[in-house]
Structure 1
C-alpha cells in the first residue's frame, strides 16, 4: 500500500473496492500518527535539524504482513543520513504509537531506487548466515568503528576494558553480569559494541542482542499489546550475549523490571553472558526492585572514571593518526585536551568540527581558530581557574613559601617555579600578560612573556620540566 499515491487498478474487479476503503483508512491513521511523531521530534531535535532532515520524510508503503513501513526522502544521501542517525529513534516512536510497525526502510524518492535499511531484516548480511531469528528480531546493529582496537586505554578505564575483553573471550568469564558504570561520554557504549564484535569473532553462530533500556521497554510493551509476550520472552532467552545500555531508564517500571529480572536469571543460570551499562552504580539506581539490584550487583561493577589529561591527549593523537593528511599542531592538541574535559564524546566532536571547518574554508588549524569555532564547547567545559589557585598549587608542589611568587629573589630554586606559575597562568586563564605580571609582584609584561617562552622551550628539551608541568596541569584540572 502506497500512502501518498493510492490508485485503484482499473483491471481490478469492482468487488475489490472495499479493500481500497480499508487501505484509505490505514493511510489516514499512518499520516495522523506521523504528524504526532513529528510534533515530538520537532521539540526534541530543534527546528533547524527537524526542518532539514525530518520534515521532508513522507510515509510511503506499509506492509501489513511483515510490519515493515517504508519512509521516503528526497535523495539517497538524505535517506542514508537519517538512517544512520535517527533510525532507532524513529522506530521507537512508531512502535509506541503503532505497535504493528516492526521495522523501517528508508528510500530515496528520486534517482537511485536503492534502499538504505537500518539493519538487514534477516540478520544475514552484516553478521553472517548463522545469525538467529531472535537476533534479527532485535536488529543487532554494532558500530564498526567501536572495537577493542579503537578503544584507547588509560588509568581511568583499564579495569572496564580488561573486564570487557574477558567477557567477550572464548573461555567462560569469571563474572556475570558485567556492569559498566560511568558518566556520559566516557566509553561504556564503545566497550559494549566492542564486546559484541569480539564475541561474534569468537562465536560466529552465537545470538547477540544489544539494545537500550528504552527500546527494551517499548519492545516489551508492544509485545504485550499484541499478545506476543511469550514470544518476546523466548527471543530474549535465546541470547548467548545480552547487552542493555542505559539501564537507569528501566527503573520505576514494575512489569518491565520483572521481565528483565527473569531474563537475567534465566541467562545466568544457562551460563550465558549479560552486560549492562548505566551512568551510576547499582546502589544509586532510584526505584529499582531489590531483587534486580541484587542481580546487577552480583557480578562485576567496573567503574570508568573521567578521562585524565594524558588519556584525552592520547585519544586525539590516535584520531589524527588515522588522518595523515590533516595537520594539527601539538599546541592545538594540548589545548583541546586540556580544555574539553567533560567527556570524550565532546572532545572528539570538537576535533571533528575543527577539522571540517578547516577543510571547507582552507584555513590553517591554529589555537586561535579552535577558540573561535569551538567557543560554545569551550565555555561549557572550561573550569574557572584563578592565578591565586595556580600560585598556591605550584608552591605546594615545589615546597615554597607563597610569598616567593611576588618576591624579588632570583635564585633558580625560586625563579624557575615562579616562571612555571606564570606559564600556567597564561595557558589556563584568560588573563593578559600585564594582568599576570601584576599578580606576581607587579612585574612587567615582558618578564611574563620571557617566562612563558622559556618554559615552553624547556618542556621540549627537559623531560623533568615537562613532567612537572604535566603533573601541575593534572592537579589543577582535577
Structure 2
C-alpha cells in the first residue's frame, strides 16, 4: 500500500474491499494491463462512507483509468460494499477537484462527471435527478466545420434559455461522429443556465431496460413520472427500440407528454427518422415534427483540427505535425477511431520511452493505418469527376475553358491535391500539361467556392466520399 493508504484505518471495510477489488481486477484485466495501468492505483481514504477516493501518480494514467475502468471500479466496490455511491479518481500532484463517478439510484448506469470551473451544477441537484453527462462533451470542445455546423447550431439553439424554438431535435449520423457529444453539451449548457433544471440523459436501450424493470416491479408510475417531469430529456441511439412494441408504445406517450408540456427533447440515431426500420410510423412522424439535423463524415481538415484540439488535453505528449497529418489523412471512419489512434500512440510512446515520429507511428498503428488507407489515383479522380458532371475524361485535359468544363476541371485538381501525394507540377501535367500555378489557383478557387456555393460544396463531398470509400 502507498503512503496515502498507510494513513488510513488499515482494518476498515473499505481497505479490505480494496484488496478484493485489486485481486478481481488483476484476474479480469490480465497481468499486462493490470501491471501497466491498474497496479499504481492507491486508496486515499479508507474510512467508511458513500465515496471511495483513489489516486494515481500522473494525469495521463489518471485519465486513462477514468475513461476505461471507472465504471468497473465502481461496480466492483458496490458488489462488496453496497453503501458506496460514488468513487473519485484523482492525480496525487493535482490540485483541481477530482472527477466524480455519480450514480443515479433510479437509473444506475454510471458515468464520469467532472466539475466545471464554476461550482458544478450537478452538486446542487437532488441525487435522483443528477444528469449522467460526460464532462468532456461541451460546446467549447466540439470542433465545427461545414460537415456538422447545422447540427451544432441546432444544438446550441436547443440549449438557449427560454421556450425552445423547436422540439424535438433529432440528430443522426454514423457511429463516432459527435451525436452524443452534442447531446451532452446541450445538457451541460442547460444546467449552467438553470442549475435547478431537471435533466435526464439515457440511451434508448436504458429506456427499454428501465421500462421493463418498472413493469416487473409493478411500478410504472414512478418510471413515467420521472421521465415526463424532465425539463430536458436526452435519448441516444433510438434505433435500439426497433421492433420492441411495448417499449415503443411507452416511448411514444413519453414523447407526446414532453412535447405537450413545452419541454426540450433531443433524440439521436444512426440514420434519419424515415430510415428507422422497425420503428412505428407515428414515432417517426413525431421526430419529423421538430428539427432533423445530420452530421456528415469529417473531411481531412476537420480530422486534423480535432487532433489539434485533442493535443491540448495531452500537454506532456510530443507528437510532430507530420504524424498528426498522417493520422488525419489515413483514419477517416470516425472521430472516435481517430482519437483512439492518437491515444494509443501517446500511451505506447510513454510506456516504451521512445520518441514519436513517422516510423514509430507506422510501427505502432500499422494495422489501423493500412486498413484505413485508400490509394486514390488522378486517373480515378478524372473518371469520377467527368462522370459526375456528364463530361468526357478528355474534356478535363483539353484546352477548352468554358465554365461547364473549367469548373469540373478545377474540382478534379482540388481533389487530386487533397487525396493524392502527387506534387503540384505532376498534377498539372496530368491535366493537359498545365503549370503548377494553375493547380494552385484551382485549389484556392474551390476552397473559396465551398464556403459560398452549396451546390459546389455538395458535389465535392459526394466525390470525396466515393473516392475515399
TM-score of the aligned structures, taking structure 2 as reference length: 0.65
Correspondence 1:348 to 2:348: no
1:131 Cα offset (Å): 4.8
Contact 2:164–2:263 (8 Å) recurs in 1? no
1:362 Cα offset (Å): 2.9
Per-residue displacement from partner, 1:314-342 (whole Å, max 9, x unpaired)?
22233335556655444333322221111
- Matched residue, 1:435: none
- Matched residue, 1:257: 248
Give the SS at the match of 2:170: strand
- Matched residue, 2:139: 148
Moved more, 229-238 or 116-125: 116-125
Pick aligned residue for 1:427 from 410, 421, 431: 421
Unaligned ranges ≥5, structure 2: 1-12, 39-47, 91-97, 106-112, 399-410, 448-459
Q: 1:50 to 1:297 in 2, by over 3 A?
A: farther
Pick aligned residue for 2:184 from 193, 196, 203: 193
Matches within 5 A, 1:380-395: 380-386=371-377, 388-390=379-381, 392=383
Per-residue displacement from partner, 1:264-308 (whole Å, max 9, x unpaired)?
111111111010111011122222122222222211111111112
Q: 1:93 to 1:275 in 2, by over 3 A?
A: farther
Per-residue displacement from partner, 1:40-61 (whole Å, max 9, x unpaired)?
x98xx9998799999xxxxxxx
Pick aligned residue for 1:302 from 288, 293, 299: 293
Correspondence 1:208 to 2:199: yes
Tell me the distance in 2 between the aligned counterparts of 1:155 and 1:418.
Answer: 20
- Matched residue, 1:118: 101
- Matched residue, 1:231: 222
Contact 2:122–2:195 (8 Å) recurs in 1? no
Give the SS at the match of 2:233: strand
Q: 1:90 to 1:329 in 2, by over 3 A?
A: closer
- Matched residue, 2:441: 464
Give the SS at the match of 2:257: helix
Per-residue displacement from partner, 1:324-374 (whole Å, max 9, x unpaired)?
6655444333322221111111112222222333344232422x3322221
1:228 Cα offset (Å): 2.4
- Matched residue, 2:41: none
Q: 1:49 to 1:176 in 2, by over 3 A?
A: farther
Contact 2:173–2:294 (8 Å) recurs in 1? yes
- Matched residue, 1:18: none
Contact 1:83–1:106 (8 Å) recurs in 2? no
Q: 1:463 to 1:425 in 2, by over 3 A?
A: closer
Give the SS at the match of 1:301: strand
Whose radius of gyration is greater, 1 or 2? 1
Correspondence 1:244 to 2:235: yes
Give the SS at the match of 1:149: helix
**RMSD after superposition:** 5.5
Tell me the distance in 2 between the aligned counterparts of 1:281 and 1:348.
Answer: 26
- Matched residue, 1:291: 282
Tell me the distance in 2 between the aligned counterparts of 1:449 and 1:175.
Answer: 48
Correspondence 1:370 to 2:361: yes
Give the SS at the match of 2:140: coil
1:5 Cα offset (Å): 8.4
1:184 Cα offset (Å): 0.4
Tell me the distance in 1 between the aligned counterparts of 2:34 and 2:436.
Answer: 48
Matches within 5 A, 1:446-461: none
Per-residue displacement from partner, 1:240-265 (whole Å, max 9, x unpaired)?
00001111112222222222222111
Moved more, 341-350 or 374-383: 374-383
Give the SS at the match of 2:141: coil
Q: 1:288 to 1:93 in 2, by over 3 A?
A: farther
Correspondence 1:314 to 2:305: yes
- Matched residue, 1:160: 151
Tell me the distance in 2 between the aligned counterparts of 1:130 and 1:418.
Answer: 55
Give the SS at the match of 1:427: coil
Q: 1:389 to 1:269 in 2, by over 3 A?
A: same
Give the SS at the match of 1:152: coil
Contact 1:167–1:173 (8 Å) recurs in 2? yes
Q: 1:343 to 1:419 in 2, by over 3 A?
A: closer
Contact 1:358–1:365 (8 Å) recurs in 2? no
1:72 Cα offset (Å): 12
Per-residue displacement from partner, 1:192-250 (whole Å, max 9, x unpaired)?
11101111111111010011112222222222223322111111122100001111112
Contact 1:212–1:247 (8 Å) recurs in 2? yes
Contact 1:392–1:402 (8 Å) recurs in 2? no
TM-score of the aligned structures, taking structure 1 as reference length: 0.64
Tell me the distance in 2 between the aligned counterparts of 1:388 and 1:84.
Answer: 44
1:450 Cα offset (Å): 9.0
Give the SS at the match of 2:302: helix
